[in-house]
Structure 1
Amino acid sequence: MSLALTLCLAATAAIAWGLWRAVEWLWILPRRLERALRSLGLQGNHYRFPYGDIKDDARLSLEARKKPIPLSHRITARVVPNLHRAFDINGSNKLAFSWFGPYPRLIIMDPEMVKEILNTKSGNIQKSRINPFAKFLASGVATYEGEKWANHRRIINPAFHVEKLKCMMPAFTICCDELITRWENQTSVTGSCELDVWPEFVTFTGDVISRAAFGSSYKQGQRIFELQFEQGELLMQTIRSLYFPGFRFLPTKKNRRRNEIHREVIALIKGMIKQKEEAIRKGEARTDDLLGLLLEYSQRHSNEDVDHSKNVGLTTEDVIEECKLFYFAGQETTSILLTWTMVVLSMHPDWQERARDEIFEVFGQNKPDFDGLSRLKVVTMILYEVLRLYPPGPFITRQIYQESKLGDFILPAGVQLLIPIILIHHSKELWGEDAEEFNPERFAAGLAKATKNQLVFLPFGWGPRICLGQSFSLVEAKMGLARILQRFKFELSPSYAHAPSMVLTLRPQFGAQIILHRL
């Protein structure tokens, strides 16, 4: 057999194999999974080759984003119109399924099933690995599984213990001082001003995470934040479409930009790490912040006496990925929480006054301290209620990699699981008839009483993978809000348009224009 014929046959076989895999992925497997789900009595849309519900979901999202909504907390139809519609059409027994391309996505609102999913330690149900572009934004402890996840979690967890949070208070205070001074300068002439608080809080929380976790300033990390924000926008575009295997290797304009951002972020973080290491050697930097802990374990990994097979340390690449994750997540969650809190307290001035009265009762005109923040009951109730109505991450996804029992169902491999946090938080069945109203009193007796011990409050997730930085975020939010309420009253500007929108997280599409009045 000639070489040319051999190569031709090999190429033909490769093409045939590729076509068969494509047919199996886009036609045979979806049909088999749909039959399996319907045989269990589950309801959902029929699979449509090859995009499933992606195009309809994109159309619904585009329509929802065209205009703002009336000023209220009934936001689910705008934020997640596809999930809202899925339950309107197919929802039964708190379950329905839709299609993310060829993958059936089971949408679950049953608290017991949610608890089972988030509490599982089985390797059968894991984070989805379908979209490789997500790694360009961040991976780290939030995306790892198994022993690697457990190891990273164990290493990072001490950075967010109560005693470490107390040590971070000076950094919080400095950042708050800069925010308040900036706002006071803008109100110095007339005693009031209008500003968009969303970018203000992006700067504030970026400064906090930089100083408290990495020992640097916002100015030093500003370029990283800008690049991560752009990377997030690019990732959202891929999430709204079907990813075909190998697409990330094509030299498209967006793919080139993703790689450029990734390389620049890596270079910036490497520079920050080098600077931190040098400062530690000179005794000029803390070693008990997040970056200090990561570097300590990285050095252990490079020690010749370490048994690398036990995975007890961190590589330099591991440190970089954890930094990317916390630069993004550490800023995003709290900036969104503070933004929606300002909007909501502008809508409900009576609660704004109640929070201010409590803050003056606890601190007077003094700057807040850690112990005092823990006594702010009304402020805590308000923050919980804002997190309920405007959760930073509107849903959580998982994927079944091996046949698994969930509740009363045996689900096949290939099924995605989606926990619609925002629908659960707004459910009248789970929270009562006032579920879409702002009522912080529901948390007056604590979380357990508010939720009747059901797993229906999920702003930071739950179970073994609950957000490591939740205490950090809440302390930061309390500190920032307390300082603002000590110095200002605020109301919505006439130019504000109520438009909560899903872009990786729940953001104000047209900004959050607030009028500040100096006290």
Structure 2
Amino acid sequence: MIFIYLIIALVALLYVYLTWNFNYWSKRGVPGPKAKVFLGDLPNGIMRKQNVAYDFQKIYKEFKAKTPFVGIIQMRDPRLIILEPELIKDVLIRKFHYFRNSEFSDMIDTEQDPLFAKNPFFLKDDEWKEKRAEITPAFTVNRMKALYPLIQDVSTRMVKYIANESKKSKPCDARELAAKYTTDVVSNCIFGVDAESFTKENAEIREMGRKLLSPSTIVFIKLVLIGSFSILKKFMKVQFTKMEIQQFFVDLMKQALKYRDENKVQREDFLDYIIQLRNKKHINELEMASHTISFFSDGFETSSIAISHALYELANNKRVQDKLRNEINNNRDENGQLSFEKLQEMSYLDQVFHEALRMHPPLVTSSKMCSENVDLEYDGKKVTVEKGINVYIPILEVHYDPENFLEPKKFHPERFDDGAMKDYVDRCVFMPFGGGPRICLGMRFALLQSKAALATIIGNYVVTVNQKTQDNPFVIDAAEFLNIKTGGLWVNFKPLN
């Protein structure tokens, strides 16, 4: 009998512990949904029946017309979702000092994961500022222009690959095609090596790149637990990538350095910039490797997602595709090539790509951790965000809000015409690369390689949607952290005469 009472007491204590914060927001007058025991208000973060993005979608639709912010419970810890663009601007820009750090900053194991620990995404406070200042000069216009011939070379190989695949009368997964392309581009621009993604099945760099940003089940479980029980940050750290994968890229960097030293090779690429950093600031080998892995991971994954979605939307919109092809043809030189300057000047290509980013941002939700108590206020409603609280920005829902974009479900690149881009960015309703001081470092490079890929493909092929693409291709894979669609985005390529 005593054993039964003990069990009941333990269950009661667990229930009290799990529900202790359930009235956190109601006590502060902040509206929110009714949390469920253990699951909180983001059940798909645990159950994974759908992508957690759909939990944010449900909350956004329910509360957007009622309040500028929503208090939620993630498992048992309080979180805040920002719904109003003016408050998003506060978090990203005006009150950036209070939200300058990522929620992942305290999670990473600096001993087991020393390379990722130096990634600017994970760094915080002054260390983040210092590393960002080191990396920023790597993305100047002049350096992008110097890298453009390397990107053109990979684009040519991609066209040949598409031609060979088209002869087999098989559809192509736009996501995998784009991933092969970005892997080859980034490998070329960082390490000066051909990843051979278009010529070899299961090319080694491509496979390692795939694993680099594919967290294991154990990592996922740890992230859920830490994200839900913030106290665990002190005891449980996360190794995002296995050491053998990190070591592969370290060895790749060492080999590239050795080859350049022995053969007196000089190329104005990212590795050349890292070598300059080594000579000027005496950064060590670990820091050099961390920078190269950061360049690699940032350059291939999100760009491949963006390119694949743009290809799908073009395949599904003949009018837009034809209009873009006309612009491409009008800007080619006598050899059929697009110069770096012409690529930058192509306004409709820019509109097409940004519209694809609006509809399919690689990161659907962004989170910031509050580092000091701060008040957020809008339209007479105020909330105090306490130190340690995570604040969520539902990027995808803001991009699809009809108050921000007319007919948001329609692929309409012209909405970015006549300088509208600046207005959308200034109002913080368009955030595919984030916003404020911590906006994506590699944005300029991502735009360059992505637009070069689209211009090359549309300039040489008519793209259509293959029937293998599911009826609702917008469903985000439940197991993914990024905006990757279930079942793939399958397209057909028909060569132009």
| Fold match by TM threshold 0.5 | yes
Structure with more of its chain in helix, by fraction: 1
Letter in 1 for 2:330: E
- Say yes or no: does 1:454 pair with 2:427: yes
Which residue pairs with 1:155 in the alignment?
Answer: 134
Which residue pairs with 1:262 in the alignment?
Answer: 242
Which residue pairs with 2:101 in the alignment?
Answer: 126
Counterpart CA distance in 2 for 1:316 and 1:117 is: 35
- Deviation of 1:197 after TM superposition, in Å, equals 2.0
SS in 2 for 1:437: coil
In the alignment, structure 2 segments of 5+ residues that lack a partner are 1-9, 197-203
Which residue pairs with 1:16 in the alignment?
Answer: none
After TM superposition, the score normalised by the length of structure 1 is 0.80
Letter in 2 for 1:215: G
Letter in 1 for 2:30: L
Q: Say if 2:327 and 2:346, in contact at 8 Å, map to a contact too.
A: yes
Q: Say if 2:399 and 2:405, in contact at 8 Å, map to a contact too.
A: yes
* Equivalences for residues 155-234 of structure 1 within 5 A: 155-188=134-167, 193-219=170-196, 221-231=205-215
Which residue pairs with 1:332 in the alignment?
Answer: 301
Counterpart CA distance in 1 for 2:109 and 2:396 is: 25
Letter in 2 for 1:380: D
Q: Decide which of 457, 472, 475 is 1:500's aligned counterpart.
A: 475
Letter in 2 for 1:347: N
Q: Decide which of 21, 29, 41 is 1:30's aligned counterpart.
A: 21
Letter in 2 for 1:224: M
Counterpart CA distance in 2 for 1:368 and 1:26 is: 62
After TM superposition, the score normalised by the length of structure 2 is 0.83
Judging changes above 3 Å, is the alpha-carbon distance between structure 1 residues 272 and 403 closer, same or farther for their aligned structure 2 residues? same
- Deviation of 1:29 after TM superposition, in Å, equals 6.8
Q: Say if 1:25 and 1:102, in contact at 8 Å, map to a contact too.
A: no
- Say yes or no: does 1:439 pair with 2:412: yes
- Deviation of 1:290 after TM superposition, in Å, equals 2.3
Which residue pairs with 1:83 in the alignment?
Answer: 56
Of 163-172 and 439-448, the range deviating more from structure 2 = 439-448
Which residue pairs with 1:271 in the alignment?
Answer: 251
- Deviation of 1:48 after TM superposition, in Å, equals 4.8
Spell out, residue by residue over 1:255-283, the C-alpha distance to the aligned partner (whole angstroms, 9 max, x if none): 9xx68x52112321221222232233235
Which residue pairs with 2:289 in the alignment?
Answer: 320
Over the matched positions of the two proteins, sequence identity in percent amounts to 20
- Deviation of 1:377 after TM superposition, in Å, equals 1.2
Q: Say if 1:276 and 1:285, in contact at 8 Å, map to a contact too.
A: no
Letter in 1 for 2:350: T
Q: Say if 1:232 and 1:504, in contact at 8 Å, map to a contact too.
A: no
Letter in 2 for 1:157: T
* Equivalences for residues 99-114 of structure 1 within 5 A: 99-114=73-88
Q: Decide which of 378, 384, 390 is 1:416's aligned counterpart.
A: 390
Counterpart CA distance in 2 for 1:25 and 1:474 is: 50
Which residue pairs with 2:122 in the alignment?
Answer: 143
In the alignment, structure 1 segments of 5+ residues that lack a partner are 1-18, 66-78, 303-313
Which residue pairs with 2:457 in the alignment?
Answer: 484
Letter in 2 for 1:435: P
Q: Say if 1:400 and 1:412, in contact at 8 Å, map to a contact too.
A: yes
Letter in 2 for 1:114: I
Which residue pairs with 1:309 in the alignment?
Answer: none
